[in-house]
Structure 1
Amino acid sequence: MTTFNDRERAFEAKFAADEDLLFRITARRNRLLGNWAAEQMGLTAAETDSYAKSVVQADFEEAGDEDVIRKLLGDLVSAGIEIDELGVRSALEAKMAEARRQYIEEAN
């Protein structure tokens, strides 16, 4: 029975580590998205930093990416940027790939 318990603990530890990694990469992605959107809107460096933080915080409103997409789309359209939901989703995917790449590079 000890072997089974050891395997169960190892599985739980790996699951927790994987979830932590995904959380970190997603937070980085959201910061990159915030920087991208701020650039589109022509924000200053100080405004960009504040806006990127607000995008990271927006992800805590509900599970999934819909809260972030809704925030970005609303803010960009309000700023007069011509973009649709597909454009925001494309940026989200590109920034997720960039966040993963950055994380892997830092780990090595």
Structure 2
Amino acid sequence: MNAFDDREKAFEAKYHLDQEMEFKANIRRDKLLGLWAAEKMGIGGDAAKTYALSVVDVEFNGTDHDAGQKVARDFAASGVAIDEGTIRHQMTVLLLLAHEQIIEELSR
């Protein structure tokens, strides 16, 4: 194996790690989004955790695969006046938080 092959393998390994980190961050963001939304809808305790998991599940099992749209529909059904733009902003903030949490956990 030459230096070029070693470098190519290193790039592939980094790419796979980056993809895994992004996947984990998106899942964590959706869970945090679900907890945030549950609080806004007045859902607490175990019901809030269950709701947060349902937000995560929409990425895998839902027809639209969009946690933000699920939360927007649930807000509308619950009478919570928070628009989709605010939800999208919250998703951006929570994605940054999720990345920070994962990096912190990896550094321990």
Equivalent in the alignment of 1:84: 83
Secondary structure of 2:66's match?
A: helix
CA contact (8 A) 1:40 1:81 kept: yes
CA contact (8 A) 2:55 2:70 kept: yes
Equivalent in the alignment of 1:45: 45
Equivalent in the alignment of 2:35: 35
Supply the RMSD in Å over aligned alpha carbons: 1.9
The one-letter code sitting in structure 1 at the alignment partner of 2:12 is E
Structure 2 CA distance, aligned partners of 1:92 and 1:82? 17
Structure 1 CA distance, aligned partners of 2:104 and 2:6? 32
Please tell me whether residue 71 in structure 1 is matched to residue 91 in structure 2. Answer: no
Residue 66 to residue 58, structure 1, CA distance change in 2 (3 Å): closer
Q: Identity over the aligned pairs, expressed in percent?
A: 41
Equivalent in the alignment of 2:16: 16
CA contact (8 A) 2:29 2:95 kept: yes
Structure 2 CA distance, aligned partners of 1:17 and 1:100? 13
Unaligned runs of 5+ in 1: none
Count of residues in Structure 1 that have an aligned counterpart in Structure 2: 106
Structure 2 CA distance, aligned partners of 1:10 and 1:105? 23
CA contact (8 A) 1:61 1:67 kept: no
Q: Deviations over 1:43-94 (max 9, x none)?
A: 13111111111111112358xx971111010011111100111011111111
Unaligned runs of 5+ in 2: none
TM-score after normalising by structure 2: 0.87
